[in-house]
Each structure stands twice: as C-alpha cells, then as structure tokens.
C-alpha cells in the first residue's frame, strides 16, 4: 500500500489502456493492493518474502525465465535497487530496460547497496526515470550516466475532480505510511499548539506502519485523544480529501509527494515542510502552499493556524493549487510513458 506500488498499478493500467500487453512481476506479493486492469497479468516469483541473499540466484533465474516465457520487450524496474537482480537476469535478451527511481538521489533508505545499484542503472539501462528535475540534475552531476535520465512526475491516480472539496468540516488531513520519514511526530507536537487555539478542529492521519505504537503513545502523552485520529490505510482517498478542509505534509524527506498533488486537485490549501526534492519542486511558497522548515513543530503550527484562521489565504492557496494539479493528469503523463517505451537505443559510439 505504498506510493511506488500505487504508481505501478496506475501507470500499468494506463499503458494497458493504450494497447500495451502489460505484465507486473512482483518478487513475492501474489496480489496487488490496488485495482488492476483485467488485461494485466500479475505474477510473483515467491509465495512469501525470501532472504534475497540466499535466494539471489533463484531470483535472477526467475526474472530471466519470466522475460523469456512472456517475450518481454520493455522491462521497467520499479526501484533502482532491482538493477542488482534485473541486469544480470536480462543479459543477452535485447530488452529495453528502464529504471524507475521513486526516492531522491541523496537517500539510500538504509541500504548502502542502493548506491551501487544506481551506478549500474545509470550505466546499463536505456533510461532512468526520476520524479523531479532537481533529482535529474543530481543523477547527471554525480554519476555522469550513459543512460538517458528522464524526469517524469507521478500522475494523479484518479481523474481531476470536477469540483473542489467543500471545505466545510473542521478537519486537517495528513496521509502517508506511519514511518519516521513522514514526520507525524512533529505534526502531533504542532497540533498540540493548534488544538489549544482552534476548538473543534480535528487532525486525521491516514496510513499504517511501524510507528503506530509510538504515535499512539505520543497522542496520549500530549492529551490529544479527542483531537487526533489514526484510522489506518485509506482505501478511498477521494472521500478523505473531500471531507477535509486543509492538507498537511510534515515529512522529513520525500521522493515526490504525490499526496500534495492529490490534495491540490481537490482544492485543499496546503501546509508542507520544505523537503529537498518533491515539495521544494512541486510547491511555490506563498502562492499555492505555505512551506516551513522540516522538523519545526512551531513553524508547522503557525502555518496551520494561518490557513485555519484566514479563509481568504486558504481560498487563494487552494485555487492556485488546483490549477497546478491539472498539469499532472494521468492521460498526459501516460502518453509520455508510452513514448518512452518506444524510444530507440542511442547509436553506438564510434
């Protein structure tokens, strides 16, 4: 139920709709958490998650077998880390290989091998797709790649809403995995300050993850049990956005920040931390969002109070955000993916 998986399903569905014969090969998930076009084939190499150190050769062999049986022409690895498996698995098969980076270049998610995998992707894939122009520049500066580094932002996973949210309920919405990177602990400290000044307002944090026990304990410690809810994974995000009046992103870092585009599509005023890649590129501070320093509960609280207390500012941010979100329509970005899969290889160096 994470962002990369959601985008895999979204883009795969769009490509199937454009006439591509699409297969999703998971390493161990036997079913997608997101709805797939019935024309898409979904398979898994393993019934449950193995130790990839012990199962390395079996993984490589399984990927190669899949590519040969299904006569794969274009292979998109949905994490640059997978280059460690996919590149040896496809030697000699003549496959058009695309690596899709969902994090930003300066974050390895605790896996030092990711740096090696990125170097391999930059040398041996035909394209590496990154989500922001800032990240594209980092790849080009740091690795001097032979691959073409292409910036393709994540698309809205649903059609652009015909009308914005009514913003009638006193609800601030946050959404994401309950992990340290999302900064929900900082948001709760900020919300303690906000809740004391705006009676009746509620904070709803949708998501699930390893930080739930710690966040639940923090809510109790801050005595916010009546002002904060953690309802779990949001299976119908359109309804969640439609019921909210403000959206807050409190992350310490982001690869992209798709929830920002989703919230803007529904006309929600945005309060966000100033993450290096996604939010810093997606948002224009003061124009379509209020942007504050990462890790600052005081700054986050002040920005939230501004949009709650100042309806004119909230309306201005919401209107500008909705205009920006329209540029991330799935139909437009799907055509760019379609063109990418048809890109011929670069001519060999003389």
Q: Please provide the distance, in angstroms rounded to a whole number, between the alpha carbons at the two ends of the chain.
A: 46
Residue 259, SS3 per DSSP: helix
Global pTM reads 0.82
Query: CA-CA distance, 220 to 7, in Å (whole number)?
Result: 35
H helix count then E strand count, the chain: 13, 12
The radius of gyration of the chain from alpha carbons, rounded to an integer in Å, stands at 21
- With tokens 């959206």, the residue in question is 247
Residue 159 reports pLDDT greater than 60: yes
CATH 3.40.50.2000 assigned to 3-155+330-341: yes
pLDDT score at 346: 66
pLDDT tier at 292 (50, 70, 90 boundaries)?
A: very high
Residue 350 reports pLDDT greater than 60: no
pLDDT score at 255: 79
Determine the average pLDDT of the residues in 271-294.
91
Which segment, 135-149, 244-258, 307-321, is predicted with the most confidence on average? 307-321
**Nearest Cα to 293, choosing from 183, 134, 195?**
183
Query: CA-CA distance, 247 to 254, in Å (whole number)?
Result: 16
pLDDT score at 308: 97
Determine the average pLDDT of the residues in 229-246.
92
Residue 348 reports pLDDT greater than 80: no
pLDDT tier at 88 (50, 70, 90 boundaries)?
A: very high
> Distances from the Cα of 11 to the Cαs of 6, 24, 80, 120, 312, in angstroms?
9, 11, 17, 24, 37
pLDDT score at 344: 80
The answer to whether the beta carbons of residues 15 and 339 sit under 8 Å apart is no
Chain centre distance of CA 131: 9
Residue 347 reports pLDDT greater than 60: no
pLDDT score at 111: 82
Residue 100 token pair: 């899709």
pLDDT tens digits, 47-57:
888 888 899 99
Determine the average pLDDT of the residues in 166-173.
96
pLDDT tier at 208 (50, 70, 90 boundaries)?
A: very high
pLDDT score at 9: 93
Residue 282 reports pLDDT greater than 80: yes
Q: Any bridge partners for residue 74, and if so which?
A: 96
| Residues 171-328, CATH architecture | 3-Layer(aba) Sandwich (3.40)
pLDDT score at 92: 95
Query: CA-CA distance, 22 to 185, in Å (whole number)?
Result: 40
Higher-pLDDT residue of 348, 146: 146
> Domain coordinates of the chain in residue numbers?
3-155+330-341, 171-328
pLDDT score at 257: 86
Determine the average pLDDT of the residues in 260-268.
96
Residue 310 reports pLDDT greater than 80: yes
Higher-pLDDT residue of 17, 280: 17
């Amino acid at each position: 139920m994470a962002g990369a998986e959601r985008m895999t399903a979204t883009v795969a569905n769009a490509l199937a709709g454009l006439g591509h014969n699409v297969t999703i090969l998971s390493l161990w998930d036997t079913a997608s958490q997101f709805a797939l076009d019935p024309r898409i084939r979904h398979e898994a190499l393993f019934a449950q998650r193995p130790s990839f150190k012990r199962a390395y050769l079996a993984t490589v062999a399984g990927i190669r077998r899949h590519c040969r049986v299904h006569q794969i022409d274009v292979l998109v690895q949905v994490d640059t880390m997978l280059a460690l498996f996919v590149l040896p698995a496809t030697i000699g098969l003549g496959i058009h290989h695309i690596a899709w980076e969902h994090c930003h270049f300066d974050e390895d998610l605790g896996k030092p091998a990711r740096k090696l995998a990125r170097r391999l992707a930059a040398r041996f894939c035909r394209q590496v797709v990154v989500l922001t122009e800032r990240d594209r520049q980092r790849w080009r500066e740091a690795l001097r790649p032979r691959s073409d580094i292409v910036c393709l932002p994540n698309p809205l996973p649903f059609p652009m809403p015909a009308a914005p949210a009514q913003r009638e309920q006193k609800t601030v919405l946050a959404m994401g995995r309950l992990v340290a990177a999302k900064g929900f602990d900082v948001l709760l400290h900020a919300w303690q300050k906000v809740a004391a000044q705006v009676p009746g307002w509620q904070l709803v944090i949708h998501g699930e993850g390893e930080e739930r026990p710690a966040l639940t304990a923090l809510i109790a410690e801050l005595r916010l049990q009546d002002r904060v809810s953690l309802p779990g994974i949001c299976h119908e995000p359109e309804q969640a956005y439609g019921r909210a009046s403000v959206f807050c992103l409190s992350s310490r870092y982001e690869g992209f920040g798709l929830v920002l585009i989703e919230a803007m599509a529904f006309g929600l005023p945005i309060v966000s931390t100033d993450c290096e890649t996604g939010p810093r590129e997606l948002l224009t501070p003061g124009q379509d969002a209020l942007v504050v320093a990462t890790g600052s509960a005081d700054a986050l609280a002040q920005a939230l109070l501004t949009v709650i207390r100042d309806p004119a500012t909230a309306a201005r941010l919401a209107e500008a955000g909705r205009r920006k979100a329209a540029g991330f329509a799935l139909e437009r970005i799907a055509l760019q993916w379609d063109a990418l899969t048809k890109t011929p290889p670069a001519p060999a160096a003389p």
